[in-house]
Amino acid sequence: MGRGILDTSTVLLLGQLASTDALPEEPLITTITLAELSVGPLVASSDEERAARQAHLQQAEADFDPLPFDAAAARRFGQVAAALRRAGRKPSARAYDAMIAAIALANALPVHTSNPKDFDGIPDLEVVTVRHP
């Protein structure tokens, strides 16, 4: 499958997947996923949960060099947000997903996700479903 972007849901499931068939040969993440993962330890309700979330963040930081939300992605984000509005969806409710989609579109890459409905209504985005364990 070549290169592809793992969304945050997929990054969180990596250690639990029974099959890696739906994953790209060269998995990538975005700075948006790092941002989402960075929130986790700060809002955890227990020390155990905080430690697990911190471990996910640190593993992602060690394993990936994230693709940035750059000027090309910002331009694509405008198109993504407009498409979501036309589809009757609120872009602000799915802002992280819309930004990940914009980075994927700007880099001509598919998004590999366990939540494909999060990317509904975004034209030209290739979405690959990663099955939950």
Q: What share of the chain is helix, strand, coil (3-state, %, to 5)?
A: 55, 10, 30
Q: Which residue has the tokens 């972007």?
A: 5
Q: What is the pLDDT of residues 19-44, one digit of tens each?
A: 888 999 999 999 999 999 999 999 99
- Would the pLDDT of 1 be above 70? no
Q: Find all residues with CB under 8 Å of 24, minimum gap 6, and list them.
A: 1, 2, 3, 4, 6, 110, 112, 128
- Write down the pTM of the prediction: 0.92
Tell how many helices (H) and how many strands (E) occur in the chain: 5, 4
Give the span between the Cα atoms of 97 and 80, in whole angstroms: 10
- Cα separations (Å) of 25 from 4, 11, 34? 8, 15, 20
Model pLDDT for residues 40-95, shown as the tens digit of each residue: 999 999 999 999 999 999 999 999 999 999 999 999 999 999 999 888 887 676 89
Parse the chain into domains and list their residue ranges: 3-30+66-129
In the CATH hierarchy, which fold is given to the domain comprising 3-30+66-129? Rossmann fold (3.40.50)
Task: Tell me the percentage of the chain whose pLDDT exceeds 70.
Answer: 97
